[in-house]
């Protein structure tokens, strides 16, 4: 278990440093690529965090 002790200092979570400027929709097929209303979710290309559709409006995260 020595390998576990080597990873003690981890970087801060991505959500603490990323403002999610580039959200890309996750879709099931090519027919839904241009329609954000049909997206299953959104992924930030910088920190790779995923968001549900009801949290995103105009490809921006809605706080609150």
Q: pLDDT tens digits, the chain, 64 residues: what are they?
A: 555 555 555 554 554 557 778 888 898 888 777 888 888 998 988 888 898 888 888 888 876 4
CA dist 62 and 11 (Å) reads 25
Counting every residue written for the chain, the total comes to 64
Tell me which residue of 16, 24, 27 sits closest to 59, measured CA to CA: 24
CA dist 18 and 38 (Å) reads 25
**Conformational region of residue 22, where left means phi above 0, alpha means psi within -120 to 50, and beta covers everything else:** beta
pLDDT of 64 reads: 45
């Amino acid at each position: 278990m020595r390998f576990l002790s080597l990873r003690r200092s981890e970087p801060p979570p991505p959500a603490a440093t990323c403002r999610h400027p580039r959200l890309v929709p996750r879709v099931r097929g090519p027919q839904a690529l241009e329609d954000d209303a049909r997206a299953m979710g959104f992924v930030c290309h910088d920190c790779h965090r995923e968001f549900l559709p009801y949290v995103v409006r105009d490809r921006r995260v809605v706080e609150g």
